[in-house]
Amino acid sequence: MLRFAPSPTGDMHTGNLRAAIFNYILAKQRNEKFLLRIEDTDTARNIEGKDKDIMFLLTLFGMSWDNLVYQSHNFERHRQLAEYLLQKGDAFYCYCTKEFLDKKREIAKENHQAFRYDDAWAELEKDKNPHPVVRLRAPKETMGFHDEIKGDITFAPNEIDSFIILKEDGIPTYNFACAVDDMLYDIDFIVRGEDHVSNTPKQMLIHKYLSYEKSVKFAHLPIILNEEGKKMSKRDNASSVQWLLDCGFLPQAIVNYLVLMGNKTPCEVFTLQDCFTWFDIRKIAKAPARFDIDKLKFLNREHFKRLNEQDLAVLLGYKDSAIGALAKLYLQEASTLNEIREKVDFIFAKKALLLENLQNDTKAESLEILEFKDAIQTLQQTLLAMLKEQDFSKAEFETFKSEAMQKSGLKGKSFFKPLRFLLTGHTHGPELSDLFPILRLYLNDILRN
Ligand code: GLU
């Protein structure tokens, strides 16, 4: 079984989503189940409702889970197994107080040495501390594993201390709950962020002491860098999945991008389902990948092209599929749902209001803008009069244009710029002759504004 194991402690970031996608694809490829495990062991940091957000996002991105568990529901099992390890002598109570350990840390720092927990300290403060933690005994030999992306990784015994598996309140630590649950749910392939590399030998050690022998595969994903090449942090907007969605990136484009980045794929534009046939985790580059928003914009446009016109119209808040077709004509200059919506909304917006904004933007009451306003008024009256007499819903642009030009008396730029503005709400954009076959269906709405 594969699993995605997010902590409900904050908003989902792109690195989490990438791990979810890869685990999901592997589950499909291997015909295995996909478990969603909410890792709520850090009771102080859990945030109410974040579990539901995670489920909402997974669903939005087209991933369904076969099984859902909250780690906290298994705390009793975790405690029983900790008890078992205590009895076997592979785990022990540690009574060290925080003050005691802080002091030892300070001494190590003064001596320019790395802090190491010493098992001999375990009971020194037994009289003082009624709430011991449980620690797992440090390994005596080198631990290692083969990572599907990074290759072989080893840890010398002195790199792993006897570490805490049950906190003083009896709540299991992340490493313990994770290793036990991976065992209980028969997880055989783990894909997660590379910040967990150093946890892997600890989790393997837990398995070993529990005599769990199943060989588990690991792939640790390189971190994602921001556009400046630094580790992406919460301050980088693109690290937040919700931010990307709010900008109007399509879930299918985000999935496409997160699979494509730092990967060798047979093509550039694909769907989550396409990945099932060719995805190979071993092709993910070891080096961190840099988040390239322009590439994501390109993919977003490609996925807009693939959307059917009716669906696109609905995404933009319109009913007619023709509006979806109209939106597609703007893909040269608009990349996100918000950018495209702005283009379409401007077509139907009150032009007088847009003109005011345009005027405020240019700030000055320049002669040019005054002439522009006049021309717009003249042309609007001409066009409305034309509409009263004829139905243009099947008209050619050439015919419409020639008649409007002749009746308004406007020529050249003084005709085309106002015409574009009246029809689209913008002074630049796609060829009017390309837009017209759709705009002609809505001329009444467009021009009455
Ligand atoms: N809860 C951990 C995280 O969100 C999961 C790590 C893992 O997949 O083991 O980073």
In CATH, what number is assigned to the domain containing residue 7?
3.40.50.620
In this structure, are 429 and 362 located in the same domain? yes
* 392 assigned to some structural domain: yes
Strands (E), 363-423: none
The whole-angstrom separation of Cα 152 and Cα 19 is: 20
The whole-angstrom separation of Cα 198 and Cα 353 is: 59
* 424 assigned to some structural domain: yes
pLDDT tens across 62-101, in order? 999 999 999 999 999 999 999 999 999 999 999 999 999 9
Orientation of helix 75-88 relative to helix 174-184, angle to 10°: 100
Query: How many angstroms does the Cα of residue 251 sit away from the middle of ligand 1?
Result: 22
Q: Which domain holds residue 440?
A: 349-447
224-225 and 289-290 beta bridge pairing? parallel
Domain boundary among 347, 367, 395: 347
> Could you tell me if 37 and 5 are in contact, meaning their C-beta atoms sit under 8 angstroms apart?
yes
Q: Closest ligand 1 atom, CA of 174? A: 1
Give residue for tokens 């503005």: 421
* 104 assigned to some structural domain: no
Residues of the chain with pLDDT under 50: none
The whole-angstrom separation of Cα 285 and Cα 150 is: 9
Whose Cα sits closest to atom 10 in ligand 1?
Answer: 6
Tokens of 7: 């902590």
Domain boundary among 262, 289, 316: 289
Query: How many angstroms does the Cα of residue 7 sit away from the middle of ligand 1?
Result: 7
* 103 assigned to some structural domain: no
In this structure, are 282 and 233 located in the same domain? yes
For residue 374, the SS3 value is: helix
- pLDDT on residue 366: 74
Ligand 1-lining residues (CB < 6 angstroms): 5-7, 39, 178, 192, 196
The whole-angstrom separation of Cα 161 and Cα 155 is: 11
> Could you tell me if 142 and 154 are in contact, meaning their C-beta atoms sit under 8 angstroms apart?
yes
In this structure, are 338 and 383 located in the same domain? no
In this structure, are 248 and 273 located in the same domain? yes
* 169 assigned to some structural domain: no
> Could you tell me if 299 and 269 are in contact, meaning their C-beta atoms sit under 8 angstroms apart?
yes
In this structure, are 364 and 418 located in the same domain? yes
Tokens of 209: 């002491």
In this structure, are 250 and 315 located in the same domain? no
Q: Which amino acid is at 31?
A: N
- pLDDT on residue 18: 98
The whole-angstrom separation of Cα 218 and Cα 198 is: 12
Enumerate residues 6+ apart whose C-beta is below 8 A from 107: none
* 62 assigned to some structural domain: yes
- What average pLDDT is seen over the chain? 96
* 106 assigned to some structural domain: no
Query: How many angstroms does the Cα of residue 2 sit away from the middle of ligand 1?
Result: 13
Whose Cα sits closest to atom 5 in ligand 1?
Answer: 5
Number of domains forming the structure of the chain: 3
| For ligand 1, mutation pick of 39, 54, 189 (most atoms within 8 Å of CB) | 39
Query: How many angstroms does the Cα of residue 5 sit away from the middle of ligand 1?
Result: 5
In this structure, are 360 and 438 located in the same domain? yes
Q: Cα separations (Å) of 165 from 90, 91, 276?
A: 11, 9, 37
In this structure, are 254 and 327 located in the same domain? no
Q: Closest ligand 1 atom, CA of 203? A: 9
- pTM for this one? 0.94
In this structure, are 353 and 443 located in the same domain? yes
> Could you tell me if 284 and 219 are in contact, meaning their C-beta atoms sit under 8 angstroms apart?
yes
In this structure, are 52 and 13 located in the same domain? yes
Query: How many angstroms does the Cα of residue 168 sit away from the middle of ligand 1?
Result: 22
In this structure, are 6 and 43 located in the same domain? yes
In this structure, are 342 and 354 located in the same domain? no
The whole-angstrom separation of Cα 294 and Cα 96 is: 53
* 175 assigned to some structural domain: no
Enumerate residues 6+ apart whose C-beta is below 8 A from 49: none
